[in-house]
Amino acid sequence: MTDITIQEAQQKVDTWIKTTGVKYFSELTNLGILMEEVGELSRIMVRKYGDQSYKDSDLGKEISDEMADVLWVLLCLANQTGVDLTEALEKNMEKKTNRDANRHRDNEKLR
């Protein structure tokens, strides 16, 4: 797969939903699915990087696939609610840059 922009990803998901997926689930259903997917990602992360041991049901699960599941549902929600994620991310980065210009540099815990 070649590199794609966030905008292209939103369009690809929209096309897939409207063809293969038939239609979007409701926004609230997708919010619930997003929470489930974040939970699945968390489960694999805490087993790989945390102190919990793997269960048989965790075997074969990939962090990258779980992250892609989270991204997929987030792209669905963005499409459903009219959010341009490229624009939203750019604004969010600007907000964080302005707000945290010195905050992390001045944090002794990060030195």
Show the beta-strand stretches assigned E in the chain. none
Q: Tokens 């070649």 belong to which residue?
A: 2
Q: Collect the ranges in the chain with pLDDT lower than 50.
A: none
pLDDT of residue 23: 96
Q: Domains plus CATH for the chain? A: 6-82 (1.10.287.1080)
pLDDT of residue 87: 98
Dihedral angle over CA of 29, 30, 32, 38, nearest 10: 170
pLDDT of residue 110: 86
pLDDT of residue 111: 81
